[in-house]
Amino acid sequence: QNIVVLVGGVGGARFTRGLVAELERRHPSPSSRPTVTAIVNTGDDSWIAGLRVTPDLDSMMYTLAGVNDDERGWGLRDESYRVSAEMNAYGVGWPWFTLGDLDLGTHIARTALLREGMPLTDVVARLASRWNDGAGLPVRLLPVTDEPVETHVEIDLGSGPELVHFEEWWVKHRAAVPAQRFVQLGLAAASATRAVRDALATADVVLVAPSNPVVSVGTVLSIPGVRSSLDESSAPVVGVSPIIGGAAVRGYADACLAAIGVETSALAVARHYGSRSRAASAQPLVDSATPPVDSAQPLVDSAKPVVDSAKPNGDPAPRGLLDGWLVAEEDADAVEAVEALGIRSRSVPLWMKDAETSAALAGAALDLAAELF
């Protein structure tokens, strides 16, 4: 059995860690255990001081390696900040974006491999392979695309509209300035990797983690090739609500949803994702043709052709995303309305407090998928 999970950073990592634990519990023998492939958002990636930083891939890698800072969610534990203090003293980099000394080691290694011409997918596999004494991670991590796609946010700080990187809006401004719209730089030249399309084509179950529906899952879905691969798959697609009792737990997903006109509720997110038995309504974020480049030292350009982004005329309209949707017990009254959308729904404990609650949540998602086979 092949399980594919669509993820962002911290929410995706906690859920995937629970999924791994639940699969180990259900299948004690590794040879009969399903494989897990995570398709990871790359929209938060950026150039900082000449280094390629990939926050959501790193949240996944550090969490699955068991070396993450669990309190914060992101970054490594037992960090120090000597290097970034020096960078800040020189006025280089993003002073509001905390980069630990050990974390910087990851960014230097990744950037070095990218500069040698290695595609991001292979770089991620290489970085992942060192953990667990060289055994690697229990999950295959796949960046959704090898081409740089960066989410930017249009804001107005009083001197007219300007575009800032998503992390600047999120971390520096704490998403307190309204986002007028999201723009994905580089999207026009990007496509899902072959590995991503193959993983979706051979998936028996697809899970949508309780990740940010706009800038994490929304970005993954917007990459050409992802939607079409999902549409062609016969695997059930089960999502987990990132909204509990009308609140964006941890972070500012509510500000992201407001920017695209979606209410912060489990039902509204389900409606936004749509039912797989019906035509899609969810639109990708706004595209822009300008790819993000580090102008000082451009990456080796792989000049890959765009694959399967154009739909030939006469193709069926894209489908919605979901066959199943887990909502919180606090949102039990939404189950009926979700089912009226053509999406099978259950209410379960949705808080990922610790290893046990995360594993139970992943188990509930697997059980709902099994019902939908």
Interacting residues with ligand GDP (CB under 6 A) = 7-12, 56, 59, 209-212, 216, 240-242, 244, 248-251, 253, 350-352
| Integer Cα distance of 11 and 264 in angstroms | 16
* Amino acid letter for position 150: E
Least separation in angstroms between residue 252's CB and Ca ion is 11
Least separation in angstroms between residue 10's CB and ligand FO1 is 7
211 binds, among ligand GDP, ligand FO1, Ca ion, none (CB under 5 to 8 A by kind): ligand GDP
Place of tokens 């009083």: 158
| Integer Cα distance of 147 and 142 in angstroms | 13
Query: Mask of contacts with ligand FO1, 205-244, x by CB under 6 A?
Result: -------x--------------------------------
Least separation in angstroms between residue 82's CB and Ca ion is 26
351 binds, among ligand GDP, Ca ion, ligand FO1, none (CB under 5 to 8 A by kind): ligand GDP
- 69: left (phi > 0), else alpha (psi -120 to 50), else beta? beta
Q: Does 148 bind ligand FO1 (CB under 6 A)?
A: no
Q: Does 259 bind ligand FO1 (CB under 6 A)?
A: no
* 17 neighbors 221 (Cβ within 8 angstroms): no
Q: Does 58 bind ligand FO1 (CB under 6 A)?
A: yes
Distances (CA, A) of 370 to 235, 322, 346, 360, 364: 10, 14, 13, 15, 10
| Integer Cα distance of 69 and 60 in angstroms | 12
350 binds, among ligand GDP, ligand FO1, Ca ion, none (CB under 5 to 8 A by kind): ligand GDP
Q: Does 98 bind ligand FO1 (CB under 6 A)?
A: yes
| Residue ranges with strand state E in the chain | 2-7, 35-40, 46-48, 51-53, 140-143, 150-156, 161-165, 181-185, 205-208, 237-240, 243-244, 247-248, 286-288, 324-328, 344-348
Which C-beta is closer to ligand FO1: that of 73 or that of 349?
A: 73
Pick the binder of ligand FO1 from 74, 284, 291, 318 (CB under 6 A). 74
Grouping H, G, I as helix, E, B as strand and the rest as coil, residue 159 is coil
What tokens does 91 get? 């006025």
From the list 115, 127, 138, the residue with the least C-alpha distance to 22 is 138
Which C-beta is closer to ligand FO1: that of 212 or that of 345?
A: 212
Number of residues that bind ligand FO1 (CB under 6 A): 15
Pick the binder of Ca ion from 9, 93, 138, 274 (CB under 5 A). 9
| Integer Cα distance of 90 and 53 in angstroms | 20
Q: Is the dihedral of CA 3, 218, 212, 110 positive or negative?
A: positive
**With CB under 6 A as the contact rule, which of the stretches 96-104, 184-192, 218-226, 306-314 interacts with ligand FO1?**
96-104
Pick the binder of ligand FO1 from 5, 9, 165, 220 (CB under 6 A). 9
From the list 196, 95, 203, 80, the residue with the least C-alpha distance to 149 is 196
Which C-beta is closer to ligand GDP: that of 189 or that of 338?
A: 338
99 binds, among Ca ion, ligand GDP, ligand FO1, none (CB under 5 to 8 A by kind): ligand FO1
Instruction: Report the Cα–Cα distance between both ends of the chain, in Å, rounded.
Output: 13
Q: Which residues between 30 and 59 bind Ca ion (CB under 5 A)?
A: 44, 56
Pick the binder of ligand FO1 from 15, 18, 36, 44 (CB under 6 A). 44
60 binds, among ligand FO1, Ca ion, ligand GDP, none (CB under 5 to 8 A by kind): none
What tokens does 123 get? 């770089």
Q: Which residues bind ligand FO1 (CB under 6 A)?
A: 9, 44, 55-56, 58, 74-75, 97-99, 103, 167, 170-171, 212
Q: Which residues bind Ca ion (CB under 5 A)?
A: 8-9, 44, 56
